[in-house]
Amino acid sequence: MDLGPYSGFILASYAISTLIVLALVAWVVLDRRQLERTLHDLASKGVTRRGPATAPAAAKLSSTATDTQE
């Protein structure tokens, strides 16, 4: 396949686009892996979204709730 006199430009645009897409994929995958690890760690420490270990308060953290804490 002959890409003609401007093959450099064509290949460069495909290469750069691939790189950017790969960076996006890497961001998404690594982000997920790290978040899942953190969630796992927190869960193994007994923290749940409904509170640490013993506290059964099921109140969810809305913005108003965080504001009253601060």
Partner 1 sequence: MAILDYANPTRFLRLTQIVLPWLTAACLAAFAVGLYMTFFVSPEDYQQGQTVKIMYIHVPAAWLCMMTYSIMAISSLGTLVWKHPLADVSAKAAAPIGAAFTLIALITGSLWGRPMWGTYWEWDARMTSVLVLLIMYLGLIALWRTMEDPIRAGKAAAVLTLVGAINLPIIKFSVEWWNTLHQPASVMRMDGPTIDTSMLVPLFVMAGAATLLFFVLHLQAMRNEILRRRVRAMRLKAAAGSRAARMAPPSSPLSSPMSGTPGAAE
**Residues found near partner 1 in the complex (CB under 8 A):** 1-7, 9-10, 12-14, 16-17, 20-21, 23-25, 27-29, 31-32, 35-36, 38-39, 42, 45, 47-66, 68-69
Least distance to partner 1 from the beta carbon of 40, Å? 10
Tokens of 24: 């996006």
